[in-house]
Amino acid sequence: MGSDVITMPKPEWIPNKGSGARFLAYSYALSGKEGSALTSSEDKVKSGSGLTGLMEELKKTKLDV
Amino acid sequence: MRKEGKIMDFEAFKNELMELVTQELDNRSIENISLKFNTINSPDGMTDRLIATVGDSKMSMAFRLKEIFTDYENGVDMDRCVDRICNTIKENISVIETKEGDVKAFITDYDQVKNYTFFRLVPGDSPVLKEAPHRKIQDMALVVSVHLVNFSDENGKSVVVVTKPLMEMYGVDENQLFADAEKNSVAKEPIVFTPLVDMIKNLIENDEIPSPEDVGIVTYIATNKTGFHGAAVAAYPEFLDQAAETVGGSFFMLPSSVHEFILIKDDGRQKAKDLNKMIRNVNETVLEPRDFLSNQCYHYDAKTKVLETGVKYDKDKEKKAGAR
């Protein structure tokens, strides 16, 4: 009985999400422009590098345990 | 009752979400779905989920409530949250009904699985480590995960972390499990080094974005071929030497996410405590919680071939300087 639970682990769904926000944040911070990094990265990355909002996220969220 | 016009707290939000999803499933005549809340051991920590189960299937859809709530706080309409959850449930009912058997047959058969096991680096305090065979690397841990090709597409991948019971069922020991995963990882997901400045240019068409190169700091992104769980390249046998060769000497490793490290050439200007502050700041403000790896940098000395935390490296360096 118990083995069925053990042998059937539930898959974890990992969506492809943009990495742009963190790269941009590090780029700003390392170049000494940290003060403007976050506000700037929010705007630019969301529109320009594939970071997705909730709608896309929900669409992709399946079998995620 | 809907709570129009004001932002709910998390508890109120999840209860209302469950209620509205239940209503909407009923409106759409989608039957045989049971909903419940659960807290799950995920590699990135304990996560609150809304679980949607189809009939008596052992597979289910598990929506990350905190991520949905964050987007709700950022202005996404509640009705759209509900709509998309219901759409996802509808789309995946048949997937679960038809593929559950396939997944079970695959995941329990090591002859099939052994070509799809890969290294994965997780935080050293990840709840999955209670059950998963692992190897510690500084304050992180290396586990083996199985990639479910039939459940993966361009939007993402389905993976399963190998647990001790699963490994025992496979009939392999830990050494064999990690050896097979290393072989697959090195062959199918080789190390890729990319200058940070090049990556930024690829992502954003804006010449005004500042780059560390502008102030003479050499930075590379180290990941794997697909960029998926690419921080695991740090566990590849040749990684540290290849990285030192690429960067041009000793370097700091910043755990920017589970998908990659950022390498910074140690030119004597960087202090670990400053780098750690920066890492923590980015982790807390930009990083998706599920992508978190660590809050501290590491240092690799290309001459002594020692990998250690940046803080330890700095302390030893100060001691040596003080002794002179």
In a domain, residue A20? The reply is yes
- Distance (Å, rounded) from C-alpha A61 to C-alpha B63? 6
Number of domains into which chain A is organized: 1
| Owning domain of residue A41 | 2-60
**Predicted ipTM?**
0.77
Of B157, B169, B256, the CB nearest to A26: B256
Mean pLDDT along residues B209-213: 81
Work out the pLDDT band at B152, boundaries 50, 70, 90. confident
| 3-state per-residue secondary structure call for chain B | CCCCCCCCCHHHHHHHHHHHHHHHHHHCCCCCEEEEEEEEEECCEEEEEEEEEECCCCCEEEEEHHHHHHHHHCCCCHHHHHHHHHHHHHHHHHHHHHHHHHHHHHHCCHHHHCCCEEEEEEECCCHHHHCCCCEEECCEEEEEEEEEEEEEECCEEEEEECCHHHHHHHCCCHHHHHHHHHHHHHHHCCEEEEEHHHHHHHHCCCCCCCCHHHHCCCEEEEEECCCCCHHHHHHCCCHHHHHHHHHCCCEEEEEEECCEEEEEECCCCCCHHHHHHHHHHHHHHCCCHHHCCCCCCEEEECCCCEEEEHHHHHHHHHHHHHHC
Q: Which residue has the tokens 């019971």?
A: B165
Q: Is A12 helix (H, G, I), strand (E, B) or coil?
A: strand
The answer to whether residue A43 is domain-embedded is: yes
Q: Report the greatest alpha carbon distance in chain A.
A: 59
Is A65 part of any domain? no
| pLDDT tens digits, B227-285 | 999 999 999 999 999 999 999 999 999 999 999 999 999 999 899 999 999 999 999 98
Position B5 scores a pLDDT of 60
Q: Report the gap between the CA of A7 and the closest CA in chain B (Å).
A: 6
pTM of the predicted protein model: 0.77
Is B203 in contact with A45 (CB distance < 8 Å)? yes
Residue A27 lies in a domain: yes
Per the domain annotation, does A25 fall within a domain? yes
Q: What is the mean pLDDT of residues B77-96?
A: 88
Please state the domain extents for chain B: 10-101, 110-187, 191-323
**Contact status of A7 with chain B (Cβ, < 8 Å):** yes
Burial class (CB in 10 A: 0-12, 13-18, 19+), B2: exposed
With 70 as the cut, is the pLDDT of residue A47 above it? no
Q: Is A8 on the interface with B (CB under 8 A)?
A: yes
**How far apart, in whole angstroms, are the C-alpha atoms of residue B274 and residue B226?**
30
For residue B207, the model assigns a pLDDT of: 67
Task: Identify all chain A residues contacting B80, using CB atoms and an 8 Å cutoff.
Answer: 54-55
The beta-carbon neighbor of B286 closest among A41, A61, A65 is A41
Residue A16 lies in a domain: yes
- Beta carbons of B60 and A63 less than 8 Å apart: yes
